[in-house]
């Protein structure tokens, strides 16, 4: 079966975004990329820091409310609809709810061929990247490094602790099943029309 969706799960600062960009370069087809970060950025400001939206604790913990969940469900279904319409999709997510987070994607992507990818990274390395990037709540990377993988199973796993994004992308790409190339078109010169008055040689 041709892979239609690739779902990457990994903690904050684990290197998923870099892998996604490399995947878009090494995969033979055009793949669209969607990440939970862009979804959060698309939320109205009033939902950031509110009980109904998403809140970030001082220790890096993340909590989400009812309005966030409703919009997240619509976003998930929208991505699935694009895949069903023929687009190849890469999803960059953080399964804060463990298996329950995956189940929401499994439900939305039902009937599609999905490659599930675990992106691991040592918590100390991820924490260092978190400091370097400067746009994350401190402690988020360390708290998520292991938690997002608890109870999870994957088709393929990569570890960015000592492996570059491009190499990780190649490992993942090797597991992607692409659509077979269409057969080459062969042009044949039609035979000249037969003369109905011609007589067979005797």
Catalytic residues: 37
Give CA torsion, residues 136, 141, 143, 149, to 10 deg.
130
In angstroms, the CA 171 to CA 160 distance is 12
In angstroms, the CA 164 to CA 4 distance is 25
Q: What is the CA radius of gyration of the chain?
A: 24
Tell me the β-bridge partners of 88.
31
Tell me which long-range contacts 103-107 makes (C-beta under 8 A, separation of at least 24): 104/72, 104/73, 104/76, 105/7, 105/76
């Amino acid at each position: 079966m041709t892979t239609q969706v690739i779902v990457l799960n990994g903690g904050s600062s684990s290197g998923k975004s870099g892998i996604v960009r490399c995947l878009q370069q090494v995969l033979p087809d055009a793949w669209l990329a969607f990440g939970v970060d862009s979804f959060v950025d698309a939320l109205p400001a009033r939902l950031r820091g509110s009980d109904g939206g998403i809140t970030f604790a001082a220790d890096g913990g993340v909590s989400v409310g009812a309005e966030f969940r409703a919009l997240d469900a619509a976003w998930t279904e929208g991505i699935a609809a694009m895949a069903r319409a023929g687009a190849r999709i890469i999803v960059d997510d953080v399964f804060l709810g463990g298996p329950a987070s995956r189940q929401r994607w499994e439900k939305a992507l039902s009937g599609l061929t999905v490659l599930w990818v675990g992106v691991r990274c040592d918590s100390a390395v991820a924490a260092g990247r978190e400091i370097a990037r400067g746009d994350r709540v401190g402690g988020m990377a360390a708290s998520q490094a292991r938690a997002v993988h608890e109870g999870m199973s994957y088709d393929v796993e990569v570890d960015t602790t000592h492996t570059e994004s491009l190499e990780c992308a190649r490992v993942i790409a090797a597991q992607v099943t692409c659509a077979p190339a269409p057969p080459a078109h062969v042009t044949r010169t039609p035979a000249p029309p037969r003369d109905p008055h011609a007589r067979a040689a005797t």
